Amino acid sequence: MEKKTKEIEENSPEPTDNSDGSKILKIIENGGVFLFHDELGTGYARVPIGKKYKTMRIDSKDFKMWLSRIFYDRIKKPLRHDLRSTIMETLEAKACNEGSVVLLHNRVTWHENALWYDLGDGSSVCVTQEGWQILNETPVLFRSYNHQKLQVHPIINGHAADLFKLINVTNKDKQLLLLVWLVSCFLPDFPHPILYVHGPQGSAKSTLCKTIKELVDPSQLDVTSFPNNENELVQMLSHNWFLCFDNVKYIPKGAPDTLCRAVTGASFAKRSLYTNDDDFICRFKRCIVINGINLGIREPDLMERSILLELDRISENGQRKEERELNIQFEGLKSSILGGIFDCLVKAIQLKITFKLTQPLPRMADFATWGCVISEALGYKHENFLKAYKDNQEIQNDEVLNESTLAVVIRNFMSDKTNWSGTPTQMLGELKELAAGFDGMKIDINHDRSWPKNASNLTKRLNELKTNLENIGIKLWSDKENKKRIIRIEKVNDEIIGGDTRDAGDDDLSGSEAIQF
C-alpha cells in the first residue's frame, strides 16, 4: 500500500525551502505519511505514531492536533491557525487528487481469507484457520471515530462462556443462542439478526447490552436512545459496527424499514452538508441490539430478522450486584472472554470450509450456516443451535400473530371452517362482523391503526401476515375469477397450532399457483 515507513520525528530529510509551510509539507511527504481518499471522496492520512499507525480524516480534530505537534517538534514554534488551515487544505487536495482510493472498514473485515479485527490503537487481530495473532502493520485500514474506545488485547486459551458470569441468562438454550450470535458479530459481510432483549424492570437488560457492546465494538456511546429522525438513525448506524438501543418503548414509523435494510445491507443517501446539495452514498450491514420492557416490534419482516431474548427479573436473595462490582469483574474477565471468542472463530473458519447442512436452511440462511459452525466450534452439536433458533422463530411467529388484531380475528374466523373464498370486500365485511364480538370480546377496529380500513388495504395486510399464518396451518392465496380478485383460505391441518405444519416442498393444496396479494 505504501513504501516502508520512516519515523517523521527522526528520519525525515531536512527541506531546503525556508518557508515553514513548505518545510512541514516536505517533512510529511517524506516521513511515511500515506495520503489517500475513500470511496466517497473524503481525504485521509495514515500517520505513524510510535511503532503503530493511525488513520485520520484530514479535516478532523485528531489530525489538527497531530499536525500541530509535528510542526512544533520539527519547526520549534507553535503552528498558526491560518497556516494550519493552508497545510490541511493542501494535504486534502493531494489526498483527493493524487492519492489512491482505499476502502475503509468499520471494526471488522475480511482480507485475503483472513479476518481482521481493529483494536483501535493501530494494531489488529488477524484470524485465519491456522490461528490468531495481534499485528501492528496491517494490509487493511479502518475508520476511526471519536466515540470509539480502545479494545483490550485478548489472551490465548480464553473462555468465551465466562460471559455468563456477568449477565442474567441462565437457560442453556438461550445461552447457546446468545453466545453464537455474539461470536457471529465478529464476522462481517452477511446479515446478522437483530437481538431484541426484553423483560421486566430489574432483569439487567441494559447491563447485558453494555457488556456485549464492550466486547464487540467498545465505544463512549455504550447504549443510546432510539432516534426519531431517520437521518440521525442512518448516521448512527454508519458510525458504529455494533449499535445498542436502550429502553425502547416503540419504534417510530419508517424506522423498521431502515433497520431491515441495515441488517440485510442497503445503500443510504445523505446530504454531505446542509449548505449544499451534494449527496453521498453509504452502504453497510450492521449488528444491532434493542432492549425494552415490552417488544417494540410489530412488523413481520423485522420480526423475522430478529432473535428474541426474554430475561427474568433478578431475585432479591443476594444475586443482584452493584454496577461497580460488575465493572471490576468484567475488566478482569474481558481479555479472557475476547480471547475465547477468537479461539472459537479460528475453529469456525476451519469448519466452514467443509461444512454442509443436509436440512433446509431457515430464514437468515447465512447466519444459520455460520451459527451451525460456531456452535460446533464452541463444543455443541449444530442441531442444538438449530433447535434453539427454530424455537425462537416460533416465539417470533406467535408474537406477530398475537399482536395483530387482524390475525386474531382470522384465526377465529377459520376455527370452524376448512376453507373459504370470496372477494376482499366480502372477506373484510365478514371479518368486521366477527370482530364486533366473539367469545364475549369486543374489538374496537375503528381505533385500531393496524386494522385494514378498506378492501385494498386488507390485501396488503394479508400479504404481511401470509407467512406467519401459514406457519400455524392457515394458507392464503389469491387468484382471479371472472376478472375479480378472489381470496382463498384453507386450513391445512385439523388443529390450528403454533410452529411449522408443512414442509417447504409440500404441494400447493389450492390446485392453482399461489401468488402474492
Query: What distance in Å separates the CA atoms of residue 303 and residue 300, rounded to the nearest whole number?
Result: 5
Burial of 202 (0-12, 13-18, 19+ CB in 10 A): middle
Query: What distance in Å separates the CA atoms of residue 438 and residue 434, rounded to the nearest whole number?
Result: 6
Q: Residue 430: which residues within 8 A CB-CB, separation 6 or more?
A: 413, 422
Classified as helix, coil or strand, 10 is helix
Q: Residue 395: which residues within 8 A CB-CB, separation 6 or more?
A: 308
Torsion of CA 504, 507, 508, 512, to 10 degrees: 140
Please report the pLDDT score of residue 29 as a whole number. Answer: 85
- Decide which of 46 and 323 is more confident: 46
Mean pLDDT of 200-209: 93
Query: What distance in Å separates the CA atoms of residue 340 and residue 450, rounded to the nearest whole number?
Result: 46
Do 478 and 515 form a contact (C-beta atoms < 8 A)?
yes
- 5 C-beta neighbours (distance < 10 Å), count: 16
What percent of the chain is modeled with pLDDT above 90?
Answer: 54
- 347 C-beta neighbours (distance < 10 Å), count: 16
Tell me whether strands 194-198 and 306-310 are parallel, antiparallel or unpaired.
parallel
CATH 1.10.10 fits 404-491, yes or no: yes
Query: What distance in Å separates the CA atoms of residue 195 and residue 308, rounded to the nearest whole number?
Result: 6
**Confidence check: pLDDT of 279 > 90:** no
Give residue 418's Cα distance to chain centre: 42
Query: What distance in Å separates the CA atoms of residue 454 and residue 477, rounded to the nearest whole number?
Result: 18
**Average confidence score pLDDT of the chain:** 85
> pLDDT tens-digit profile of 353-370?
999 888 888 889 999 999
**Confidence check: pLDDT of 86 > 50:** yes
The radius of gyration computed from the CA coordinates of the chain, to the nearest angstrom, equals 28
Nearest Cα residue to 308 out of 228, 420, 397: 397
What percent of the chain is modeled with pLDDT above 70?
Answer: 86
Cell of 45: 492520512
Query: What distance in Å separates the CA atoms of residue 453 and residue 427, rounded to the nearest whole number?
Result: 12
> pLDDT tens-digit profile of 115-161?
999 999 889 999 999 999 999 888 899 988 889 999 999 999 999 99
Mean pLDDT of 235-244: 92
Mean pLDDT of 409-421: 90
CATH among 3.30.420.10, 3.40.190.10, 3.40.50.300, 3.40.50.10440 for 160-339+346-355: 3.40.50.300
Query: By mean pLDDT, which of 257-271, 274-288, 379-393, 396-410 is the weakest?
Result: 274-288
Q: Which sequence spans correspond to the domains of the chain? A: 8-102, 160-339+346-355, 404-491
Give the H or E element holding residue 89: helix 81-97
